Structure 1
Amino acid sequence: MAPAPVGRAGAGSASAPAQGRPPPRLLDQLRHVIRLRHYSLRTEEAYVQWCRRFVLFHGKRHPANMGAPEVQTFLTHLAVDGEVAAATQNQARSALLFLYKEVLGVQLPWLDEVVGAKTSRRLPVVLSVAEVRQLLQGMSGTPWLVASLLYGGGLRLLEGLRLRVKDLDFAGRAMTVREGKGGKDRVTVLPEAVLLPLQDHLARVKALHERDLAAGRGDVQLPDALDRKYPAAGRSWGWQFVFPSASLSVDPCSGVERRHHLHEATVQKAVASAARANGIAKPVSPHVLRHSFATHLLQAGHDIRTVQELLGHADVRTTMVYTHVLMRHGLGVRSPLDAVT
């Protein structure tokens, strides 16, 4: 049986079309299967884009008419001609393997012939304590509060923006990161320096939430299927985002208009602007604050295992990169020139 045209799911797709209806588009089928597995929206967008690029690269041939050789050719092209990073090539590979296995029902053999992209070994950018102070002093409002939590708790940007009110433990000086990288939860420190500003911020957020409720809104997106299990939870105060957006937006998955969390670009622009204004020559992004958190903890003498837990690293070898950053800064090492001059 010949596969459907490009853009339509083939005969091996995860679900058969209803009788009398055209089969769903291949990329729509891909989105459906991704959502069934509760992957993030970012993963969904990335996988769809890679599968679209794969089809276009091979002249719009249907993936059901292609296989491992075509996947190998595409991934090798990315590394050799596109000169993409290893992580980028791995993401494309994961997207295509997902398409074939989960949507088309095809098991591809191990792709031994793929030319791997070169893995770059770069040390992370880290700010000094003085530079972090300069940066934060150059910020204000909600972006300052977000950046303070990123540095004070070692959070990734989206981890900070996705914090819910119930995840903050003011008495225990802790905050819980839900579904961080790898789908893991962890607990990290809530800095005392932001307790009062954070409480003032939450008072304003609560007032906004109460106005939303009065207007018949106030429902927030819940993870997985909690909205079906606990229909009223999305309107409760504890589930609200700590950093809500100033405007409502339509959820691309459900089509429901809700108040999402603050967009990451707001914080990214504020951090970059503060770095330029304070003459910090290093390339500064919100993630640099997480790197600085880890490095400064090690510099202060904290155990690397503790830092590993706070960062949520599965392997301590990932955390070890910050010890190399310390060596790069010359900490604990005296130059032999200083002994002879």
Structure 2
Amino acid sequence: MDKYPSYNVTVPTSAPGVMQRVVVDWNQLIARREFLLRDMPNDPDFNYLVLPEVERLLSSIEDGTTHLAAYTLWVTGARVSEMLMLRPEDFQLEGNIDPCVKLPILKNRTPKKNRPPRRMIGLGDGPFIETLRRYIKTQKIKRRELLFGQLSRHAIRHRINSAGRRVQPALPLTINPHTLRHSYAINHLIHGKTPDQVRRLLGHTDMRSTDVYLRVLSADISHHGAGTPFRLPIEA
């Protein structure tokens, strides 16, 4: 297993103006995932990567279209079908509004007449924004043209699966597009987002669809619990 340095980051909480510091030991999270997979080797719920593993995957993809597709899935949590409908006009990258993307909501139990047509996802990753701008410019994609042209879901799955197999040293999982959606959700929970926030980001209407990530992270959020006191400090 590769050794990844731990890091700490300050992230916003669900309470306005309140920040929290999160310390993440990536090696512990990976070891815990591998421990759980011993008993459930084919459980798709555990088919996720943590942030440094995703960075390894992205850095190994040389084809520009495949790289942008994988990167888009990672930073937006989109379903493949949602991503394939994106056009440059769906991205807000300029002006006074923080960078964001309007994702279509395609798989949802809410009746269409009551369903919002899009969900807004913030784009806080500067390198992704630059990659997207460069791709649109070099490929000469017009505002209303599909970002990924006529690529099919099968083609995207094949490209990302092949890219995952080429990563060296090898990643511990078989990678597919949904791996990146899982990884997006897990990454938000690791960094302190609430389950309801993650539900909204993923476009779930039913909390039961999001509960799978809580089951996965029942082991993987111990870095939060380790800092939660259960006794008052002893006064000197």
Q: TM-score, normalised by structure 2?
A: 0.65
Read off the aligned partner of 2:201 and give its amino acid letter.
L
| SS of the residue 1:181 aligns to | coil
Question: How many residues end up aligned between the 2 structures?
Answer: 170
Tell me the distance in 2 between the aligned counterparts of 1:280 and 1:322. Answer: 21
Residue pair 1:155, 1:311 contacting (<8 A) in 2 also: yes
Tell me the distance in 1 between the aligned counterparts of 2:206 and 2:152. Answer: 30
Instruction: Provide the residue aligned with 2:18 in structure 1.
Output: none
| SS of the residue 1:123 aligns to | helix
Tell me the distance in 2 between the aligned counterparts of 1:153 and 1:197. Answer: 14
| SS of the residue 1:155 aligns to | coil
Residue pair 2:61, 2:163 contacting (<8 A) in 1 also: yes
Instruction: Provide the residue aligned with 1:239 in structure 2.
Output: 144
Tell me the distance in 1 between the aligned counterparts of 2:184 and 2:105. Answer: 20
Structure whose alpha-carbon radius of gyration is higher = 1
Q: How does 1:191-340 map to 2 (within 5 A)?
A: 191-206=125-140, 237-244=142-149, 261-278=150-167, 279-329=170-220, 331-332=222-223
Tell me the distance in 2 between the aligned counterparts of 1:308 and 1:128. Answer: 19
- Gapped runs of 5+ residues in structure 2? 1-42, 227-236
Q: How does 1:52-71 map to 2 (within 5 A)?
A: none
Residue identity (%): 28
Tell me the distance in 1 between the aligned counterparts of 2:48 and 2:200. Answer: 19
Tell me the distance in 1 between the aligned counterparts of 2:58 and 2:44. Answer: 26
Q: Which residue, out of 121, 140, 145, partners 1:188?
A: 121
Read off the aligned partner of 2:136 and give its amino acid letter.
L
Residue pair 2:84, 2:151 contacting (<8 A) in 1 also: yes
Tell me the distance in 1 between the aligned counterparts of 2:67 and 2:189. Answer: 24
Read off the aligned partner of 1:199 and give its amino acid letter.
R
Instruction: Provide the residue aligned with 1:163 in structure 2.
Output: 86
Residue pair 1:126, 1:288 contacting (<8 A) in 2 also: yes
Tell me the distance in 2 between the aligned counterparts of 1:201 and 1:138. Answer: 17
| SS of the residue 2:58 aligns to | helix
Structural RMSD (CA)? 2.3
Instruction: Provide the residue aligned with 1:131 in structure 2.
Output: 53
Residue pair 2:165, 2:174 contacting (<8 A) in 1 also: no
Between the two structures, name the one with larger relative contact order (CA 8 Å, sep ≥ 6). Answer: 2
Tell me the distance in 1 between the aligned counterparts of 2:153 and 2:71. Answer: 15
Residue pair 2:71, 2:128 contacting (<8 A) in 1 also: yes
Tell me the distance in 2 between the aligned counterparts of 1:122 and 1:148. Answer: 21
1:116-154 CA-to-partner distances (Å, cap 9, x unmatched) read xxxxx8624111222211111111211111110101111
Matched, 1:146 2:69: yes
Residue pair 1:139, 1:270 contacting (<8 A) in 2 also: no
Aligned in 2, Cα 1:189/1:124: closer, same or farther, shift over 3 Å? farther
Residue pair 1:173, 1:192 contacting (<8 A) in 2 also: no
Tell me the distance in 2 between the aligned counterparts of 1:122 and 1:170. Answer: 34
Tell me the distance in 2 between the aligned counterparts of 1:329 and 1:297. Answer: 12
